Structure 1
Amino acid sequence: MLAVRGGCWFVDAYGSELHLGVEDDFRPARKAHPALLRPDLDDLATRLTAAGYPVTWGNDEVPGIRRFHTEDPHANRLEFVLVDPS
């Protein structure tokens, strides 16, 4: 449905949805980004690295949260997060 209007929806195995749209003057986001909770954070980082995507860990910046940043195929910044349950 959104593809007709220039966008798309992503749904992951955990039921999270990400709805994206495009604009004529598109520029990749360098600072603004979505942060997505992932219980399989280490596995996801391994799969992204194997697929050639950069993974930059930022574990010390926010207490109780493990996280990393990567980029989508269009150079938009993405953050994936696992909250420490302890």
Structure 2
Amino acid sequence: MIAAVDHVQLATPDGSENALRTYYVDTLGMTEIPKPPVLATRGGCWFQAGPVQLHLGIEADFRPAKKAHPGLRVTDIEAFAARLEAHGAQVHWDGDLPGHRRFFSHDPVGNRLEFLEPVDG
């Protein structure tokens, strides 16, 4: 039986690891975690914040998905959006999900990310 999501894998082009490290660590505040040695030879990088892991893996014919994305729950969404904007990331607010405040943004290689916070009431 499924108990939890272990991680989400996103594709990335070869050679993008440094830009991804800057974005996922400095902008989002995640921590880079080491890949197992057998997987590290493939390139890419892994990040974690609390129980959430994002794995960025190299894809030879990379094209960012236009619709697919992970939904990442945050606290203090206004401050989080301001943090992204202060680091040069674009924030696109969307009010179409009842019971939530949310926005979309993109990492340096074009992966779409959703950030959301439930609202009381």
Q: TM-score, normalised by structure 1?
A: 0.85
Q: CA deviation at 1:4?
A: 2.1
Matching residue of 2:109? 74
Matching residue of 1:46? 82
Q: Cα deviations across residues 15-46 of structure 1 (Å, max 9, x unaligned)?
A: 31112212100011211111111113111100
Matching residue of 2:27? none
Q: Which runs of 4+ in 1 moved over 6 A?
A: none
Residue identity opposite 1:9 in structure 2: W
Which structure shows the bigger proportion of residues in helix conformation?
A: 2
The yes-or-no answer on 1:6 pairing with 2:43 is: yes
Could you tell which deviates more after superposition, 37-46 or 66-75?
Answer: 37-46
Q: Cα deviations across residues 24-80 of structure 1 (Å, max 9, x unaligned)?
A: 000112111111111131111001111111100002x01101100001011111100
Query: Where does the alignment leave 5 or more consecutive residues of structure 1 unmatched?
Result: none
Query: Where does the alignment leave 5 or more consecutive residues of structure 2 unmatched?
Result: 1-34
Residue identity opposite 1:7 in structure 2: G
Residue identity opposite 1:50 in structure 2: A
Number of positions where the alignment pairs a residue of Structure 1 with one of Structure 2: 84
Q: TM-score, normalised by structure 2?
A: 0.63
Aligned with 2:100 (options 62, 65, 74): 65
Q: What percent of counterpart residues are identical? A: 51
- 2:118 & 2:65 partners in 1: Cα distance? 24
